[in-house]
Amino acid sequence: MILIELIFPVILLVLGIYHGLMQVLYRAGMIHSRQVLGLDYYQGLTLHGVVNAIVFTTFFAVAFGYAIIRFYLGRPMNMKVAWLSFTLMIVGTLAAAAAILSGTSSVLYTFYPPLRAHPAFYIGLTLTVVGSWIAFFNWFPPYFAWKREHRGEKVPLAVVGIFAAFIVWLIATIPVAIEILVLLLPWSLGWVATVNVPLARMLFWFFGHPLVYFWLLPTYVMYYTMLPKLAGGKLFSDFAGRLTFLWLVLYSAPVGIHHQFTEPGISSTWKFVHAFFTMLVAVPSFATAFTLAASMEHGARLNGGRGWFGWWRKLPYLDKDRWLFAYFFCGLFIFIFGGVTGIINASYNLDVVVHNTSWLPAHFHQTVAGPIFLSYIGMSLFLVVKLMGKELRLPRINVWVPYIWTVGIMIFSTGLFIGGAGGEPRRTNMGLTYTDPRSPLYQPDWVYAKYLGALGGTLMTIAGLMFFIIFFATLFSRATKPAALNLITSETYHDEHVPAVQSFTPWLAGAALLLVIAYAPPIAQTLRSNFPGAAPYTPDNPVPLTSKP
Ligand code: HAS
């Protein structure tokens, strides 16, 4: 099951990456058309976001969670429940994909109303989410059985991390379930004529920001538990890992309004409160930067590294036998820039300059398409090798994939950052307007930044193609070794025993309290405001739709 849950989204990823390339070509003015091969710009952008950011990540997190629970807790799962979860996720994904491909659901991955999708899109997403919840609930019996048998022992760090990820996911998906089931689905089915846009958007971002930490936590599990050993050393501090995971449970959710700084109906007091909490949610990532750097330094020094900076030379950057190191290290490097730009976005007044410009996709590609994407594809390949007893194909080329991706993403994001700071909009088919010399809207000073974007995006596509070749060549090769679920586990340098990070309970209570403080007043404000309900729209027409989709 783990294998199918890894391979299915990687197949879909082919579609996701293709539409990434299309995006940069449209935006750079290399395509002056509304559509290519029968798929229009917004349909392609919706596929790109939904496949890469929602489907690939959710399937991977579930598969990786199963691997972690099975490996560290050493107990079988209830397979009937696991198959139920799997079936719901597959059926849900196929329903949402069919809705997008039919051209009736070009609502982008944020599915903001008043853009309206076909009901199958909302039902499909709901089934996928419910399937992932069931997978999580299936991990409780082995978890509690392990705790009963190991009284007084620390739960393995990786298990704490994956539980933190799915707690964040549960917190995040409840508001979006309310948004879909109460607001969007009845509207999409034609049962009600209009939708409350400010409320729907607030519920979406109540989901949307913890979502990004749900993506990040499995990556942090890999970084904390595997990277130190790959670097030849030990994890510098077990406490730092536990604190990071639990801190993200606490602060992931009460920050969503930082996506709505420019929106009406929410007072600046609550925008400020969310900006403040956003600064706090960045703290564990700073802690992670120092802990991982110290862990890598420890490994490098054991390997003969000397001096303040000389030890950096002793890390296994191009070691084809420890190739996962390259996937993890490149992600970390990219995340430095993704993190810094996140702090800029969170800074309220600076956000006014960059909001809804191409700066935003630059920021989030340096997070979700940086550390998260590289660690997820690296781990998918690693698990295929282990679980199928295969020999990795093209190992010397494989170790270069993350570096080419990194060069690509840095060039791509530089183009988008420059354009965004100059006002270039996101989510716009600029080949029809701003980068088309025949258009009265033509902006010649944006063109060179767009070429940078296209160059970087092309390099990313090349790295993606290289990965697909290696992945499928390995998958279809003959098994040469016994198959085994064997995860890399680092030892700990400082194995602190701090009671405050041994239990989820106080952190969950704190998270619940912060959610009430951060969301009850702004939701009340939104409900009190007297915006009219909105009729449905499609992205390419300023006139509302009046009939059902
Ligand atoms: Fe973000 C928008 C703020 C992190 C994803 N973010 C987005 C969107 C996405 C996204 C998808 O406050 C767009 C949504 C949309 O479609 O509209 N974000 C932050 C902040 C952080 C942050 C403060 N974001 C993430 C992560 C994401 C993600 C993680 C995906 C997984 N973001 C915002 C804001 C907006 C936003 C606003 C809305 C803006 C708007 O106007 O709409 C922080 O959590 C970041 C903390 C990270 C760090 C970096 C630590 C560095 C590390 C690397 C160390 C490296 C080493 C290697 C050791 C502080 C851990 C050294 C090697 C050498 C060679 C030196």
Q: pLDDT digits over 126-146, tens only?
A: 999 999 999 999 999 999 999
Pocket flag, ligand 1, residue 343 (CB < 6 Å): yes
| CA of residue 354 to ligand 1 center, whole Å | 14
Distances (CA, A) of 258 to 161, 272, 332, 419, 455: 25, 9, 24, 22, 31
Would you say 188 and 142 are in contact if contact means Cβ atoms under 8 Å apart? Answer: no
Which residue has the CA at smallest separation from atom 47 of ligand 1? 339
Pairing relationship of beta strands 35-36 and 39-40 according to DSSP bridges:
antiparallel
Q: Nearest to residue 332, comparing CAs of 278, 402, 282, 232?
A: 402
Which residue has the CA at smallest separation from atom 51 of ligand 1? 336
First to last CA, the chain: 36
Distances (CA, A) of 420 to 258, 286, 356, 446: 18, 26, 8, 9
Tokens of 435: 């980068």
Would you say 132 and 61 are in contact if contact means Cβ atoms under 8 Å apart? Answer: yes
- Per the rule left: phi > 0, alpha: psi between -120 and 50, beta: everything else, 484 is beta
- What pLDDT, on a 0 to 100 scale, did the predictor assign at position 114? 94
Would you say 228 and 235 are in contact if contact means Cβ atoms under 8 Å apart? Answer: yes
Q: Tell me if residue 485 falls in helix, strand or coil.
A: coil
Pocket flag, ligand 1, residue 290 (CB < 6 Å): no
Q: What is the pLDDT of residues 526-548, one digit of tens each?
A: 999 888 899 999 888 888 887 54
Which residues neighbour 284 within 8 Å (Cβ) at sequence distance 6 or greater? Answer: 243, 244, 247, 248
- What pLDDT, on a 0 to 100 scale, did the predictor assign at position 361? 97
Average pLDDT (448-473) is 97
Mean pLDDT of the chain: 95
Residue type for position 257: I
Average pLDDT (370-383) is 98
Pocket flag, ligand 1, residue 215 (CB < 6 Å): yes
Q: How many CA atoms lie within 13 A of 161 on its CB side?
A: 29
pLDDT at 549 over 70: no
Which atom from ligand 1 is nearest to the alpha carbon of 293?
A: 58
| CA of residue 309 to ligand 1 center, whole Å | 26
Q: What angle do CA 396, 218, 17 make, to 5 degrees?
A: 55
How far apart (Å, rounded) are the C-alpha atoms in residues 190 and 206?
25
| CA of residue 339 to ligand 1 center, whole Å | 4
Best residue for ligand 1 mutational test, from 363, 375, 409 (most atoms within 8 Å of Cβ): 363
The whole-model pTM stands at 0.96
How far apart (Å, rounded) are the C-alpha atoms in residues 17 and 47?
10
Q: What is the pLDDT of residues 354-373, one digit of tens each?
A: 999 999 999 999 999 999 99
Residue 421 φ/ψ, nearest 5 degrees:
-65, -25
Which residues neighbour 506 within 8 Å (Cβ) at sequence distance 6 or greater? Answer: 500
Pocket flag, ligand 1, residue 282 (CB < 6 Å): yes
Q: Nearest to residue 416, comparing CAs of 14, 23, 17?
A: 23
Pocket flag, ligand 1, residue 230 (CB < 6 Å): no
Taking every pair of C-alpha atoms in the chain, what is the biggest distance, in angstroms?
A: 72
Q: Nearest to residue 161, comparing CAs of 375, 380, 406?
A: 375
Which atom from ligand 1 is nearest to the alpha carbon of 354?
A: 41
Q: What is the pLDDT of residues 214-243, one digit of tens each?
A: 999 999 999 999 999 999 999 999 999 999
Q: Tell me if residue 468 falls in helix, strand or coil.
A: helix
Which residue has the CA at smallest separation from atom 11 of ligand 1? 364
DSSP 407-459: HHHHHHHHHHHHHHHTTPBSS--GGGTTT-TTSTT--HHHHHHHHHHHHHHHH
Pocket flag, ligand 1, residue 86 (CB < 6 Å): no
How far apart (Å, rounded) are the C-alpha atoms in residues 77 and 462?
39
Pocket flag, ligand 1, residue 333 (CB < 6 Å): yes
Helix/strand/coil percent split, the chain, to 5 = 70, 5, 25
Q: Nearest to residue 164, comparing CAs of 213, 235, 225, 209?
A: 213
Average pLDDT (170-196) is 95
Which residues neighbour 354 within 8 Å (Cβ) at sequence distance 6 or greater? Answer: 344, 345, 360, 420, 421
pLDDT at 116 over 70: yes
Best residue for ligand 1 mutational test, from 360, 376, 409, 410 (most atoms within 8 Å of Cβ): 360
Q: Which residues pair with 537 in a beta bridge?
A: 115
Q: Which residues pair with 36 in a beta bridge?
A: 39
Would you say 430 and 33 are in contact if contact means Cβ atoms under 8 Å apart? Answer: no
- DSSP assignment letter at 304: T
Would you say 413 and 365 are in contact if contact means Cβ atoms under 8 Å apart? Answer: yes
Would you say 161 and 227 are in contact if contact means Cβ atoms under 8 Å apart? Answer: no
Q: What is the pLDDT of residues 294-349, one digit of tens each?
A: 999 999 999 999 999 999 999 999 999 999 999 999 999 999 999 999 999 999 88
- What pLDDT, on a 0 to 100 scale, did the predictor assign at position 541? 83
How far apart (Å, rounded) are the C-alpha atoms in residues 252 and 512?
11
Q: What is the pLDDT of residues 76-85, one digit of tens each?
A: 889 999 999 9
Tokens of 356: 């809804």
- What pLDDT, on a 0 to 100 scale, did the predictor assign at position 542? 84
Q: What is the pLDDT of residues 24-68, one digit of tens each?
A: 999 999 999 999 999 999 999 999 999 999 999 999 999 999 999
So which residues are the catalytic ones?
209, 213, 363-365, 426-427
- What pLDDT, on a 0 to 100 scale, did the predictor assign at position 86? 96
| CA of residue 373 to ligand 1 center, whole Å | 14
| CA of residue 356 to ligand 1 center, whole Å | 16
How far apart (Å, rounded) are the C-alpha atoms in residues 71 and 170?
23
Which residue has the CA at smallest separation from atom 20 of ligand 1? 342
Residue type for position 491: E
